[in-house]
Amino acid sequence: MVLCLALMNARTPDVPAIAAACGYDAVYVDLEHTSTSLETAAMLCASAIGAGIAALVRVPSHDPSVIARVLDNGAVGVIVPHVNSAQEAKAVVDAARFPPVGHRSISGPNAVSGYQPRPAPELAEFLERQTVVAVMVETPEAVAASDAIAAVPGVDMVLIGPSDLTAEMGIHGQYENAHFHHAVESVAAACRAHGVALGVAGIRSLDLLKRFAALGLRFISAGTDVGMMTEAATARARDLRELDGGSTNTDE
């Protein structure tokens, strides 16, 4: 089981190192929902490598140039949102993988390769072995196509986005809904059939995650940096307010 911390607001290299110290296996830098730049993403990825954990980047779109740039600049994996068909999954693989599987342009040594000089074929082979291609299933259309998506050569993981998926299903946030569970079961079956990892993001219930683990769940996006800080800070403030009888009046 890979535990990943999503970086939404983090902009400094100490945060991936803290994630590693807290027991996480990976971080992913979210470029879809934030203003984080590619330069900052590269710095966070390099920090994760230095801390001994994996760094992935959730790109904002299917743009092949963005996919290639994050992989060339320190990400060992790319998470691509809103992949609704096998054709779209093939385009993602085409952008993320070197020939003959894809058509990613071959650059030079980077943080993932430790900047060690290698002959071009050896470097490409090394980076290819490190690269994780994850596609997100976030619509009923994608669920229906999940078997074809998981069957695409070069796809390593199908990551379910529960918030967007349940919103598209008209049951936003109802993670105990039978229709949502059926969708997860369908995607999980596709992953098992094709030897692809199943991932999920945004679910807090340990009981629900345990049930999904029985279906083959291997990757959990356990929460976000701001979410973790808000939760811990809120709990601490609540406990400390009890020392003053629960008062929040700053004039006292």
Question: Would you please indicate which residues are annotated as catalytic (active-site) residues?
Answer: 33
Q: How far is CA 92 from the centre of its chain?
A: 15
Contact 155, 98 (CB under 8 A): no
Rounded to whole angstroms, the Cα distance separating 81 from 85 reads: 12
CA distance linking residue 94 with residue 97, whole number of Å: 6
Which helix (DSSP H) or strand (DSSP E) does residue 165 occupy? helix 162-169
Helices 64-72, 86-96: axis angle to 10 degrees equals 40
End-to-end CA distance of the chain: give it in Å, rounded.
49
Those residues whose C-beta lies under 8 Å from the C-beta of residue 129, and which sit 6 or more positions away, are none
Give the position of tokens 């599987």.
101
- List CB contacts of 113: < 8 A, sequence separation 6 or more: 123, 126, 127
Tokens found for residue 57: 């980047």
